[in-house]
Amino acid sequence: MEIKNVFVVGAGLMGSGISQVAAQSGYNVWMCDISQDALDKAMSNIRWSLGKFADKGKLKEAVDVVIKRIQPVLNYDEASKADIVIEAVFEKLDLKQKVFREIDSIAPPHAIFASNTSAISITELAASVKRQDLFIGLHFFSPVQMMAAVEVIRAVTTSEEAFLLGRDFVKSLGKEPIMVNRDIPGFLLNRINLPSTIEAIKLVEAGVASVEDIDKGVKLAFGRKMGIFETGDMVGLDVTYSALMALYEETKDPRWYPPELLRRKVRVGHLGKKTGMGWYKYNEDGKPVGPAL
């Protein structure tokens, strides 16, 4: 099967990023959200991002040519044209299941369904639709436009054909597929990354080191472009919390339970750059002005 049309559900950080890279790769894209404001903001951010690529000589076409491939929509009607549906809504099982159930009766029978979840079971999501053999995980990393890795996750029900189509689609976006052959909690890369995030938060809780020094050390010693807390603010503390809770609820392993400091910051609405306060404070332009602790 040839993929030409992409339907993305969610116009947030991840959904808009996925929409952009798909459009840059020549796909027709419908980006769906329940909020017109979210769609307008996403289109503005995509145009800005494409402009940055163009300024650096990394965009093969004019910005307007790429932008015209993305159609913002407020309902699922255009999913009837989709060859692949990619869900990128908030990390809540019931919300994701609702999205897939509603689109299952609209999308054509051949359409692949994919979730961008970072931790929720792909098999459990697949159980909400009839096309369980065509259901995969496609876990992009933030910022989507810059990060090369995409996990391709096989559910218990996923056919070999769908699994390989997911791989080929990721390659067509100029990304590198990381093939995850078993649907385990947290998949592959978060099973490696999240323990370091938990430990970093606990070290701050214990007064061992500051947020800034931990980020500085991680970048200088481990070669990471962003520190653990900088990344957490970009992704959203609520997203990290939800991923950890999904792991904890499925495994009942206490090592995945979100640290107290993370729980408290989420409770008071310190969610990162999107709220102006997370592990760092941010000004109106979204620039960090110092630690929040």
> Strand 176-180 vs strand 280-282: parallel, antiparallel, or unpaired?
unpaired
**Which amino acid appears at position 195 of this protein?**
P
Sheet holding 149-154, edge to edge: 70-73, 28-32, 5-9, 84-87, 112-115, 135-140, 149-154, 176-180
CA triplet 9, 127, 99: central angle to 5 degrees? 20
235, 272 in Cβ contact below 8 A? yes
The token pair at 286 is 């979204």
What backbone torsions phi and psi does residue 179 show, to the nearest 5 degrees? -85, 120
Q: Which residue of the set 190, 230, 242, 270 is catalytic?
A: 190
Any idea of the CA torsion for 97, 76, 147, 63, to the nearest 10 degrees?
-170
Annotation says 190 is catalytic: yes
Q: Which residue of the set 87, 91, 151, 230 is catalytic?
A: 151
What is the three-state SS of 222-240?
Answer: HCCCCCHHHHHHHHCHHHH
Q: Which residue of the set 28, 115, 121, 139 is catalytic?
A: 139
Which strand (E) or helix (H) includes residue 289? strand 288-291
Annotation says 118 is catalytic: yes
Q: Which residue of the set 5, 115, 118, 121 is catalytic?
A: 118
Catalytic residue IDs: 118, 139, 151, 190
